[in-house]
Amino acid sequence: MNCTKCKIKAVIKLPRHNAAFCKDCFNGFVHDQVAKAIKSQKMFSKDNRILVAVSGGKDSLALWDILLKMGYKADALYVNLGIGGYSKPSHIKVVRFAETVAAAHGATLHVHTVELDEGAGIRELAMLVHRPTCSTCGTIKRYQFNRAAIEHKYDVMATGHNLDDEAARLLGNVLRWQEEYLDKQAPSLPASVEGFAKKVKPLYRLTERELAAYAVLNRIDYIVEECPMAKGARTLLYKEVLNRLETESPGTKQAFYWGFLDKQSKPEASPTTMAEKDQAALHPCSACGQPTTVEICSYCKLMARAGSAKS
């Protein structure tokens, strides 16, 4: 198997593109896909300051690596969730990458430790407020990512969601016809109101397998294990179903998600923009000031319930 582009020996085959690449050409392909995502969705420019949400996994560290190599001003935020046997090794991977790769580009790593700032780890907090751990985790991470982006004056916040993630999320939302979530599935969500950071997903054109290959070929040391709290999540089932379809018909995930984005971008499909909806519905939380649709945001409610449970 030879590289489609330069004809030397290939290291990876991409059935959905009917192509194979050597290491250098594959890196070029990955960077091109990210560049197309940034341009087509008008995510950011070389003048913007970007905050990358990193977890220690392949996708987020690959994203940080790619943006730095493409010449963007990209710092990162790591949220230590306090999950025994998982958070410590993932934190080590992030710090190691920051010290060996990101620092050479002048990039900075910010760290938020849940046990210190919220008073307990994710598991303990979830038990205190009687909510699923993943729900509690999502509430805290969304809040802290947005807070850090606003407080440190970043122009945009980037996450490592890939094509597999977005296709699985879309399948789940379509199965339940969750229109509110479908409206917010674009790879670029604007900073529609003050206190709400712009959020982008530059990896939406790349699959999980492609990003794993990029990480291995570029010697990015990442945590391989999935978060133990994700066991049994419906998203994993949706990914399994889509993987089976992809095996039988390469390009299924791409056609599914990109087709959704194409229809979503048509004016007649969305006469009222997401920004206009946000401006009409969002206002400052009476407790912390961050945007919310109710009087007190979900993060402040969660922390109030945790505080009451402790006392």
Structural tokens at position 106: 């002048």
Q: How many residues are there in the chain?
A: 311
**Alpha carbons 255 and 166: distance in angstroms, whole number:** 12
Mean pLDDT calculated for residue range 26-45: 97
Return the closest-CA partner of residue 161 out of 55, 246, 271, 289: 55
38-310 folds as Rossmann fold (3.40.50)
pLDDT score, position 213: 97
- pLDDT tens track for 258-292: 999 998 877 655 545 555 555 557 888 999 988 88
pLDDT score, position 264: 83
pLDDT score, position 293: 85
Return the closest-CA partner of residue 213 out of 2, 7, 27: 27
| Residue 129 pLDDT greater than 70, yes or no | yes
Kindly report the number of other CB atoms within 10 A of residue 97's CB atom. Answer: 24
The C-alpha angle 221, 121, 96, rounded to 5 degrees, equals: 20
**Alpha carbons 210 and 12: distance in angstroms, whole number:** 9
What percentage of the chain reaches a pLDDT higher than 90?
Answer: 77
| Residue 66 pLDDT greater than 80, yes or no | yes
**Alpha carbons 197 and 148: distance in angstroms, whole number:** 9
pLDDT score, position 110: 97
| E-strand stretches of the chain | 12-14, 19-21, 49-54, 73-80, 109-113, 156-158, 188-189, 198-200, 283-284, 291-292
What is the chain's mean pLDDT, rounded?
92
What residues does each domain of the chain span? 38-310
Q: Is 186 helix (H, G, I), strand (E, B) or coil?
A: coil
Backbone angles phi and psi of 202, in degrees to 5: -65, -10
pLDDT score, position 6: 96
| Residue 74 pLDDT greater than 90, yes or no | yes
| Residue 40 pLDDT greater than 90, yes or no | yes
